[in-house]
Chain A
């Protein structure tokens, strides 16, 4: 098909397409972190889990020939990291933030160590669904290539919001996140709930990593993550611990990440690196704008060490 000249319209279109493409890892990591934080614990190690998930996913997809096996393996690896974090944190005097940073470095280190042999080989990609079939314009088609995992993430956000409202598991999680004492008085074991929530959060971050290596950018190398795992944690705060808000916030961050390449494609090359920094500037800006010296954070789980 001939490329069609659509001028400046290409920018919003590319940003939209980029938002959908780039946002998926943000979405999975932030949903995982949202789950963990709602139980009253913060897992800063998700960046490491993401990178390790990317490596595991790529390696197993290559070895087995199926990208889905890769995604599953990444989820499993992520759950293991979550379990480790949750298990260490149950000991007295252990700080969840410090453990998170340690696990972030461990995850990245292990991923680089085991991932060396997989930098060259090519693993099968995850398939995308083409929602742009009705259009003749290739840019529209390109923008509407939507990966299955993105749709899955959207559904997951809705399901998680429902879970927090209408299931015993969800309410238990909120009780533990809001008041350890009340949870104990009810006969719940806060450490166990947090362990499982951290494991589930880790699994989701692992899936986010598999998306990176198996779809976009779609290869394994040591620079695969550009801090998505850390930004997603800021994103959860911005989304006020609400899974639906996490979805929109992930889209916004994804869009910001796509701004640089989109502008470059229409020939704006000045301040190129500045536009690439957009997601980081956005993270900083949003955290400053949504904070306040005078009032407590709304919607924050009260047992979170961040808000204490």
Chain B
């Protein structure tokens, strides 16, 4: 055997042979064979819907593969149940945390053990945990409730939990999507160290080429359920990877900034509000938003961006300060938003900006249904106008829906996002407030959304873009603000922006 099945320090390797998964007519995974030798760091690349999660769910026993075999450390394994995978030492770190928020880190670790004692002797368990932590490359505060940990700490704790449970083959599902660049590098660096020491084998799902080239040994690429390429990192170029992933050379964005006239549209002065725990507050000293620019607000989630968005949309009370739009005080009522032509695209629009069980056409009419001719309030619903509006927007924004009468909840994430963006961008728009517009969307959807935002900016709309995706902020913004601990910690024009410096301010180490 030339491939390592098991390292001395305990890491185990796996191999899939012709793994196939069909859901009725649809083939989600088609004859995929990949080999992950023990002690290696393997990346799994692919767009949304390429079959990455189906593959790992088959490996972990959440799905039973229609055909194909799985070898764990050279032995054929029948994954009938997630518990079988667990018993064989296979563990998974999910994109969304599976830690219990109100339990402390120590409680989370102890209760996740299959052999947790009926009565927990905390003195003994603490000693054992401390001894375990001694052997680990990174530390996490154990006595804090998990809800108070930063995203990076939670991600580390998820990985620690798998090691604590004795798992030696880890699947990481986009582990860095909620981390700052520095945090991501730190966590992945430690994981890399553990694989080099032969402690664990890692299979990481990602769509970030930088992480593949910087940390992985080898890569496998999936497209439409097929294994379309891969190889050793270093022998395969980023162009080859992206071509394999998308099936064609990536389209170069035609987005370009046009020169625009800048007038102040909105200004926040000394705005204070409580955050949702009621323990901390956010405070915005002085922020101005001008027409024809995209003002990006970067920050790690939970640093007050969500609360800022809620203040601007009128969902959260302010405790002081003032918001003015074109010089007039702004209270974010529907009437004020209409007069000043302010529009919003909150994050997770299906939850925050739609009535999920109403039809696409009705959802698209939320801005016009109560307005009759000449802007007078309407009493009767005008079905014809609603249908006309829906047809225009569905065509204009390429919303894929079975019919305008379909429930909006039946649409995919990208289509909901495009539909709501279309609704918010109809007519004259002076200001658009956007929060994480591309979260969870695939490349094509991301690209159209960003094109639309840039087009709106070029047409003179003032756009406030709140996003946790630093690449998005860097790509679209004219000016960048960094939010940390509820305050604006840093401001820079995009021309002189340095990603490392922004990352440090995001993490609260600006000075």
Interface residues of A (CB under 8 A from B): 166-169, 171-172, 174-175, 178-179, 181-182, 185-187, 292-296, 298-299, 301-302
Contacts and interface: CB of A to CB of B under 8 A. Distances in A.
Interface in B57-115: 82-83, 86, 94, 98-103, 107, 110-112, 114
Contacts of B118: 167-169
B278 interface: yes
A92 B101 CA distance: 25
A205 to B, nearest CB: 25
A171 B107 contact: yes
A271 B100 CA distance: 50
Contacts of B103: 171, 174-175, 178
Contacts of B274: 294-295
Nearest to A163: B119
Interface of B: 82-83, 86, 94, 98-103, 107, 110-112, 114, 116-120, 122, 273-279, 316-317
26 contacts: A166-B122, A167-B119, A167-B120, A168-B111, A171-B110, A174-B102, A174-B107, A175-B100, A175-B103, A179-B100, A179-B101, A181-B98, A182-B100, A185-B94, A186-B111, A186-B112, A187-B83, A187-B86, A292-B278, A294-B273, A294-B276, A294-B278, A295-B279, A298-B277, A302-B101, A302-B102
Given A175-B100, A178-B100, A302-B101, A294 B317 contact: yes
Contacts of B86: 187
A186 B276 CA distance: 29
A171 B276 contact: no
A167 B122 CA distance: 10
A295 B276 contact: yes
A184 to B, nearest CB: 9
Contacts of A179: 98, 100-101
Counting chain B CB atoms within 10 Å of each CB, the highest count among A174, A175, A181 belongs to A175
A175 B118 CA distance: 15
Name the 4 nearest CB pairs between A and B, nearest first: A295-B278, A171-B111, A185-B98, A178-B100
B277 A295 contact: yes
A186 B108 CA distance: 11
A174 B100 contact: yes
Nearest to B317: A294
Nearest to B316: A294
A178 B101 contact: yes
Counting chain A CB atoms within 10 Å of each CB, the highest count among B111, B116, B275, B317 belongs to B111
Nearest to B86: A187
Contacts of A174: 100, 102-103, 107
Contacts of A294: 273-274, 276, 278, 316-317
B111 A175 contact: yes
Nearest to B274: A294
Given A186-B111, A186-B112, A168 B277 contact: no
B148 to A, nearest CB: 12
Given A167-B119, A171-B107, A186-B111, A178 B98 contact: no
Nearest to B120: A166
A169 B114 CA distance: 13
Nearest to A172: B111
Contacts of B119: 166-168
Nearest to B278: A295
Contacts of B279: 295
A168 B122 contact: no
A292 B117 CA distance: 39
